[in-house]
């Protein structure tokens, strides 16, 4: 991993998914019932789950309506008991990413651990912030094998950070958090980086096609630009679209109840066949409801 990331091995923590690192970071840096963590909102749900489980207050700092970073909202949420700031980039579920300058500006201003979750970095044009680690000792970067590598089932994620932080993660983790089967499988897979690059290329092509197609439906109001392996679309009657797709055995994520995400569905980019099944189902949906004038 060190060779692959161009980092020293004492700057890398490997965990049972990057979710393990999220939980450990909260346990290490936060005192239950006293400290709090701040996260951009909307974002990945596990930061809140881990904070709740550890009895640590969770404070969402809303993004702007266009999903850009709102430093003022972050500043307002932070107080002396705030120990961690979570910034997911590219962000799940808004699918956009934030520039390194923006992230480093806000994290440099606040005296906190800043966790930048790069689960979707391989699908973005932007570079990983890992090149900034040496100058930013409070920065923790999360990456995972669950997305671009397609290996969510082996449960392997990592935290990249200053050796001081990594040694804390290693002290608190269970002694044998990575089982041998995962290690063997990961080593085999890692020996051929070109496979991952081919998958990513394929997903990016399929994403572009899917974006184009989604724009053609009358009930689709907006297709947001994506830096991830999913797209966020705003539709009329999201629950109706969602339920129709479930009836066709196609599962998307209904995010329409989430703050800033009125009407939004999150759709994972699949294989060409999977995407065709989706787009055909949606034509069918449109035809059905054109007939009943109930789109």
Ligand X SMILES: *Cc1c(COP(=O)(O)O)cnc(C)c1O
Options 12-20, 238-246, 258-266, 269-277: segment touching ligand X (CB under 6 A): 12-20
Task: Provide φ and ψ at 117, rounded to 5°.
Answer: -90, 110
122 binds ligand X (CB under 6 A): no
In this complex, which beta carbon is closest to ligand X, that of residue 29 or of residue 120? 120
In this complex, which beta carbon is closest to ligand X, that of residue 49 or of residue 281? 49
226 binds ligand X (CB under 6 A): no
Compute how many residues bind ligand X; rule: CB under 6 A: 13
Candidate residues 11, 36, 92, 275; the one interacting with ligand X per rule CB under 6 A = 92
Q: Minimal distance in Å, beta carbon 152 to ligand X?
A: 5
Q: Minimal distance in Å, beta carbon 49 to ligand X?
A: 11
Q: Minimal distance in Å, beta carbon 141 to ligand X?
A: 11
Strand partners, 85: 38, 114
Q: Minimal distance in Å, beta carbon 17 to ligand X?
A: 3
44 binds ligand X (CB under 6 A): yes
In this complex, which beta carbon is closest to ligand X, that of residue 89 or of residue 275? 89
275 binds ligand X (CB under 6 A): no
23 binds ligand X (CB under 6 A): no
Answer yes or no: are the C-beta atoms of 231 and 95 closer than 8 Å: yes
In this complex, which beta carbon is closest to ligand X, that of residue 17 or of residue 289? 17
Give the binding site for ligand X (CB under 6 A): 17-19, 44, 88, 92, 117, 119, 144, 146-147, 152, 157
């Amino acid at each position: 991993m060190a060779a692959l990331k161009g980092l020293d091995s004492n700057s890398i923590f490997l965990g049972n998914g990057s979710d393990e690192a999220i939980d450990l970071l909260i346990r290490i840096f936060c005192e239950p019932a006293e400290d709090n963590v701040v996260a951009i909102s909307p974002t990945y749900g596990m930061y809140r789950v881990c904070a709740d489980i550890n009895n640590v207050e969770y404070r969402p700092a809303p993004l702007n309506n266009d999903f850009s970073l709102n430093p003022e909202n972050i500043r307002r949420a932070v107080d002396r008991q705030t120990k961690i700031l979570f910034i997911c980039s590219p962000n799940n579920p808004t699918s956009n990413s934030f520039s390194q300058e923006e992230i480093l500006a806000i994290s440099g201003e606040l005296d906190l651990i800043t966790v930048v979750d790069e689960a979707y970095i391989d699908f973005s044009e932007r570079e990983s912030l890992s090149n900034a680690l040496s100058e930013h000792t409070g920065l923790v970067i999360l990456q995972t094998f669950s997305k671009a590598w397609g290996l969510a089932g082996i449960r392997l994620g990592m935290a990249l950070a200053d050796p001081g932080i990594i040694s804390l993660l290693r002290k608190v983790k269970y002694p044998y958090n990575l089982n041998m089967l995962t290690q063997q499988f990961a080593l085999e897979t890692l020996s051929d980086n070109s496979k991952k690059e081919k998958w990513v290329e394929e997903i990016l092509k399929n994403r572009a096609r899917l974006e184009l197609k989604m724009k053609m439906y009358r009930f689709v109001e907006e297709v947001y630009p994506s830096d991830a392996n999913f797209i966020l679309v705003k539709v009329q009657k999201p629950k109706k679209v969602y339920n129709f797709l479930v009836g066709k055995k196609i599962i998307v994520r209904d995010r329409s109840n989430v703050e800033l995400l009125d009407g939004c569905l999150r759709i994972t980019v699949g294989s060409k066949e999977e995407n065709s099944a989706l787009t055909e189902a949606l034509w069918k949906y449109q035809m059905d409801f054109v007939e009943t004038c109930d789109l």
